Amino acid sequence: MSIGRRQFLKAAGVTGLLGLVGSPLLKIFAPGELEASSEFREGAALTARRWSLVVDMKGFPTVESYTKCIEACYNAHNIPHMDNEKHEVKWIWPETYEHAFPDNYDVYLSENIESMTFLILCNHCDNPPCVRVCPTKATFKREDGIVAMDYHRCIGCRFCMAACPYGARSFNWRDPRPFIKNLNPLYPTRTKGVVEKCNFCAERLSRGEHPACVEASEGALVFGDLKDKDSNVRNILRTKFAITRKPDRGTLPRVYYIIGGS
- Judged by the rule CB under 8 A, the positions of this chain that interact with other proteins are 15-18, 84-90, 95, 98-100, 102-103, 129, 132-138, 153-159, 161-167, 170-175, 191-195, 246, 249-251
CA-based angle 107:117:166, to the nearest 5? 80
The residue within the footprint of ligand SF4, chosen from 197, 203, 213, 231 (CB under 6 A), is: 197
Nearest alpha carbon to residue 251 among 171, 172, 160: 160
Residue 99 touches which of other proteins, ligand SF4, none (Cβ within 5-8 Å per kind): other proteins
C-alpha dist (Å) from residue 171 to 87, 161, 175: 7, 8, 10
For position 216 contacting ligand SF4 by CB under 6 A, the verdict is: no
For position 125 contacting ligand SF4 by CB under 6 A, the verdict is: yes
Residue 123 touches which of ligand SF4, other proteins, none (Cβ within 5-8 Å per kind): ligand SF4
Return d(Cα 27, Cα 162) in angstroms, integer: 34
C-alpha dist (Å) from residue 19 to 1, 36, 136, 171: 22, 21, 14, 28
Q: Please state the closest distance from residue 91 (CB atom) to ligand SF4, in A.
A: 11
Residue 124 touches which of ligand SF4, other proteins, none (Cβ within 5-8 Å per kind): ligand SF4
For position 122 contacting ligand SF4 by CB under 6 A, the verdict is: yes
Residue 139 touches which of other proteins, ligand SF4, none (Cβ within 5-8 Å per kind): ligand SF4
Residue 184: enclosing H or E segment and its boundaries? Answer: none
Applying CB under 6 A, the span of 82-90, 118-126, 203-211, 235-243 interacting with ligand SF4 comes to 118-126
3-state helix, strand, coil in the chain (%, to 5): 40, 15, 45
**Residues 6+ positions from 231 with CB-CB distance below 8 Å:** 48, 224, 225
Number of H helices, E strands in the chain: 11, 10
- Residue nearer to ligand SF4 on the CB measure, 103 or 111: 103
How many of the chain's residues bind ligand SF4 (CB under 6 A)? 29
For 168-246, where are the E strands, in sequence order?
170-171, 195-196, 221-225, 242-243
The residue within the footprint of ligand SF4, chosen from 78, 117, 123, 172 (CB under 6 A), is: 123
In the stretch 157-186, what mask flags binding to ligand SF4 with x, by CB under 6 A? xxxx---x-x-xx-----------------
The residue within the footprint of ligand SF4, chosen from 47, 115, 136, 232 (CB under 6 A), is: 136
CA-based angle 158:119:256, to the nearest 5? 90
For position 134 contacting ligand SF4 by CB under 6 A, the verdict is: yes
At residue 176, the 3 state secondary structure works out as: coil
Q: Given the rule CB under 6 A, which residues bind ligand SF4?
A: 122-125, 128-130, 133-136, 138-139, 147, 149, 154-160, 164, 166, 168-169, 195, 197, 251
